[in-house]
């Protein structure tokens, strides 16, 4: 840790702060666990260890690369993505995001997720959202924040239930604390594709309880503009289907995104 020079805070949550830092003349991001012990901190430390362990075995251009970890203080050192997170970038009107770039952004995230879902055992992200997609200098999108990730249960007794993630991106089965699979990530990705295409915030202005009522009770989804190309609109709508079994796999998603034209007529 002594070789890390912390420069500036680039993100913070309830239990961790992310710094831009320098390590041996290289720009890096350092996620540092904050706060004291006991209670929720024990779970946070467990999530942190989960993330460090997961990152150490993942190598893909669309997954934020791990560079190391320290025990005291508890940190994870990762590659630095200079363009920040996808949500902030999409909501910056000064940034021009062409159709070709939107298509590539969708593909990048889908390729990263396909990689996670083809691991043995399958890795379910559980908190996929635009805030957890980072963009590097070359405009490559990378999935990050694996604190809530879980390996898919191999036996019926280990079926996953319980809430994880953020309501605006959360699948109905996760909101309802029902059994869920990797198809929960596909639902979240449907919302992200909508964000990338429209450059809007999903369910903007709604409180979490209102989002839950909209998604579960009324089965509402963000409105797709009429101008959205039909193949993309169909893919988004299939990804955010209420029934997880009819959502496509990321393998299928990648194939369909690759078939989208690089230029719109």
Binding-site residues for ATP: 32
Integer Cα distance of 19 and 209 in angstroms: 32
Spell out the residues 6+ positions from residue 96 whose beta carbon is closer than 8 angstroms to its own.
none
- Is residue 69 within 8 A of residue 78, CB to CB? The reply is no
- Catalytic residue chosen out of the listed positions 127, 185, 204, 252: 127
* Torsion angles phi and psi, residue 208, rounded to 5: -50, -40
Q: Would you say the C-alpha torsion 76, 78, 84, 90 has a positive or negative sign?
A: negative
CB atoms closer than 10 angstroms to residue 74: 18
Residues annotated in a binding site: 32
Q: Would you say the C-alpha torsion 90, 91, 92, 93 has a positive or negative sign?
A: positive
How are beta strands 75-79 and 66-70 bridged, if at all? antiparallel
Closest CA to 147 of 2, 18, 1: 18
Spell out the long-range contacts of 12-17 with Cβ–Cβ below 8 A and sequence spacing 24 or more: 15/40, 15/41, 15/44, 16/44, 16/48
Q: Is 225 left (phi over 0), alpha (psi -120 to 50) or beta?
A: beta
Spell out the residues 6+ positions from residue 80 whose beta carbon is closer than 8 angstroms to its own.
20, 27, 28, 29
Integer Cα distance of 40 and 119 in angstroms: 29
The reply to whether 127 belongs to the active site is: yes
- Which residues are the active-site residues? 127
């Amino acid at each position: 840790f002594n070789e890390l020079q912390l420069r500036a805070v680039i993100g913070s949550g309830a239990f961790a702060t992310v710094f831009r830092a320098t390590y041996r003349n290289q720009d890096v991001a350092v996620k540092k666990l904050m706060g004291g012990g006991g209670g929720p901190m024990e779970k946070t430390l467990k999530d942190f260890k989960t993330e460090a362990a997961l990152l150490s075995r993942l190598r893909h251009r669309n997954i934020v690369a791990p560079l190391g970890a320290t025990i005291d203080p508890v940190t994870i050192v990762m590659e630095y993505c200079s363009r920040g997170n996808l949500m902030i970038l999409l909501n910056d009107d000064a940034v021009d995001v062409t159709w070709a770039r939107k298509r590539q952004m969708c593909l990048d995230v889908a390729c990263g997720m396909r990689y996670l879902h083809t691991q043995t055992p399958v890795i379910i992200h559980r908190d996929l959202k635009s805030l957890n997609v980072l963009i590097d200098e070359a405009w490559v999108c990378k999935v990050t924040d694996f604190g809530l990730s879980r390996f898919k249960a191999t036996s019926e007794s280990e079926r996953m239930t319980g809430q994880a993630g953020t309501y605006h991106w959360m699948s109905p089965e996760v909101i309802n604390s029902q059994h869920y699979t990797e198809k929960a990530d596909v639902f979240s990705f449907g919302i992200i594709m909508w964000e990338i295409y429209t450059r809007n915030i999903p369910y903007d202005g709604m409180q979490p309880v209102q989002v839950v009522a909209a998604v579960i009770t009324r089965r509402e989804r963000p409105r797709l503009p009429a101008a959205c190309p039909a193949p993309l609109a169909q893919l988004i709508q299939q990804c955010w289907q209420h029934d997880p079994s009819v959502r496509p796999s990321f393998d299928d998603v990648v194939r369909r995104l690759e078939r989208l034209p690089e230029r719109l007529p």
